[in-house]
Structure 1
Amino acid sequence: MFDHLSLQCDDLDASRRFYEAVLGPLAITVSMDFGDVLGLSGSDGVPKFWLGLQTTGGTQREIHVAFTARDRATVDSAHRAGADLGAEVLHAPKEWPEYHPGYYAVFLRDPDGNNVEVVAHA
Structure 2
Amino acid sequence: MLDHMSIQCADAEASAAFYDAVLAPLGGGRIKDFGQYIGYGVDNIPDFWIGAQTTGEGFRESHIAFRAKDRAMVRAFFDAAVAAGAEVLWTPQEWAIYHPNYYGAFVRDPDGNNVEAVSHRPE
Output one character per residue of 1:10-67: Cα deviation in whole Å (capped at 9) or x when no partner.
011111111111111111101111111001111x201111000012214111011100
Distance 2:55 2:70 in 1: 37
Matches within 5 A, 1:1-122: 3-42=3-42, 44-122=43-121
Change (3 A) 1:3 1:97: closer
The DSSP-based 3-state class of the residue aligned with 2:89 is: strand
Runs of at least 5 residues in structure 2 that lack an aligned partner in the other structure: none
> TM-score, normalised on structure 1?
0.94
The DSSP-based 3-state class of the residue aligned with 2:77 is: helix
Runs of at least 5 residues in structure 1 that lack an aligned partner in the other structure: none
Identity %, equivalent residues: 53
Tell me how large the CA RMSD over aligned residues is: 1.1
Distance 2:81 2:41 in 1: 19
The DSSP-based 3-state class of the residue aligned with 1:83 is: helix
> TM-score, normalised on structure 2?
0.93
Distance 2:86 2:69 in 1: 22
Instruction: State the Cα distance separating 1:3 from its structure 2 match.
Output: 4.3
Aligned length: 120
